Amino acid sequence: MAKCSFCDRKAVIFIRRTGKYYCEEHFEKFFLGRVRSYLDRNKIKRKKILAAISGGKDSSSMLWALNSLKNEYKLEIVAFHIDLGIKGYSKSCRKASEELCQSLGIELKILDLKKEYGKSLEEIARKSRKPCSSCGTIKRYLTNKAAYEGGFEYIATGHNMLDEAAFAMHNLYSGTIKQFMRGGEVIPPKPKLKMAGRIKPLYYLMENETMLYAILKAIPYSEEECPYSLGHPIIRHKRVLLRGEEELPGFVYNVLKSLNSLRSEKEEEVELNFCKICGYPTTSEICKFCRIMGQYNLKRFPKISPLEYPSISFKSIPERQGILEIIAPTAMMGSVTVFTIPAGARPLLFNSYMT
């Protein structure tokens, strides 16, 4: 059994890009150290932060880590969760979010999409060719609205290094260069445009490191996978990146670093207008959120030209494939090989890599 590179205790993880074995204690130091590096680099101190949590492992670990560092960085943190109304999935995510915030003593604000706007994401997805795109628009809009109207300087999300590299590659591959240019490590607040800033405290951490942190700290999170995410192109980009990480330790970090250099060399100011319906920023006359919601002629939205989306039914969702226990070493796990698990640990769902 391998030992920690920093002490004589048993290792729980080997991280290829550092070439080190870590016991539970030193892994926690490593994890929080990466979050500290991010906060220091982006001068996140004495800030009022709205933590967007889905109930999944990444955003839950993000909130737990921020809460561990809030006194050190003098952060004011409130959590925000959107109940999307997806059968089975949303109930589990909401419950996990409530348990997490209760255990941390953090205020949780919940927005129920169906109650507030009259339609759940399931209903919206029936008119959308790309339900994930509609979901992303809805979550970004509502989270920004809550942050701006609540006086928060920043929104914190649970996006990790693998997520960010995969999003960037997907944008480059699909030719959506403007979306690629709008990404990055941090997005500063623009109060005149009614836009809160965005931070990603897990930016220097891989997805499986976040999973292990959640298990070691016994963080409440939902293991349910969103049924609409199955088969998303981002999954394929993640597989490519993980294969690169297996061959070249540090591959994902270096790819992301290079992509960010491209962004910084050609920063473009996007011309923004204010939506004629809701008054929030958009690149067109009517923002995408209002276009999506306006399809239903809801009271708060005037009837506008519907998006020409055929009806899509998601009645049959294939069963999950590739359920791995954390003790199983595999190339699909990227930079991490785990040697021990704490008592009572749950099995891991690496569905995003294995489907």
Where residue 128 falls among pLDDT bands split at 50, 70, 90? confident
Residue 297 lies in a domain: no
Distance separating alpha carbons of residues 28 and 19, to the nearest angstrom: 17
Q: Which residue has the higher pLDDT, 262 or 19?
A: 19
Going by C-alpha positions, the residue among 207, 210, 156, 211 that lies closest to residue 185 is: 156
Q: Which of 133-142, 243-252, 256-265, 290-299 has the lowest mean pLDDT?
A: 290-299
Top mean pLDDT of 86-90, 228-232, 297-301 is at 86-90
Print the domain residue range for 63.
13-268+309-354
Distance separating alpha carbons of residues 94 and 79, to the nearest angstrom: 12
Mean per-residue pLDDT, 161-182: 83
Q: Which of 50-59, 88-97, 163-172 has the lowest mean pLDDT?
A: 163-172
Is pLDDT at 351 greater than 50 in this prediction? Answer: no
Q: Is 301 left (phi over 0), alpha (psi -120 to 50) or beta?
A: beta
Residue 3 lies in a domain: no
Is pLDDT at 318 greater than 60 in this prediction? Answer: no
* C-beta neighbour count of 310 within 10 angstroms: 8
Q: Which of 39-43, 137-141, 313-317 has the lowest mean pLDDT?
A: 313-317
Tokens 């290079």, located at residue: 258
Q: Please report, rounded to a whole number, the percentage of residues in the chain having pLDDT higher than 90.
A: 56
Residue 51 lies in a domain: yes
Distance separating alpha carbons of residues 14 and 19, to the nearest angstrom: 7
Residue 123 lies in a domain: yes
> Tell me: the pLDDT tens digits for 19-46?
999 999 999 999 999 999 999 999 999 9
Tokens 């980009």, located at residue: 237
Contact 50, 155 (CB under 8 A): yes
Residue 277 lies in a domain: no
pLDDT at 269: 61
Contact 274, 281 (CB under 8 A): yes
Residue 6 lies in a domain: no
pLDDT at 2: 92
Contact 162, 237 (CB under 8 A): no
Contact 55, 97 (CB under 8 A): yes
Supply the mean pLDDT for the chain. Answer: 82
- CB under 8 Å to 304, separation ≥6 — which residues? 286, 290, 291, 294, 295
Is pLDDT at 220 greater than 80 in this prediction? Answer: yes
Domain containing 187 — which CATH number? 3.40.50.620
Is pLDDT at 10 greater than 90 in this prediction? Answer: yes
pLDDT at 297: 52
Distance separating alpha carbons of residues 261 and 141, to the nearest angstrom: 27
pTM, to two decimals: 0.79
Counted domains in the chain: 1
pLDDT at 340: 38
Residue 288 lies in a domain: no
Residue 155: both structure tokens together: 């929104």
> Tell me: the pLDDT tens digits for 43-85?
999 999 999 999 999 999 999 999 999 999 999 999 999 999 9
Residue 109 lies in a domain: yes
Top mean pLDDT of 65-74, 168-177, 299-308, 321-330 is at 65-74
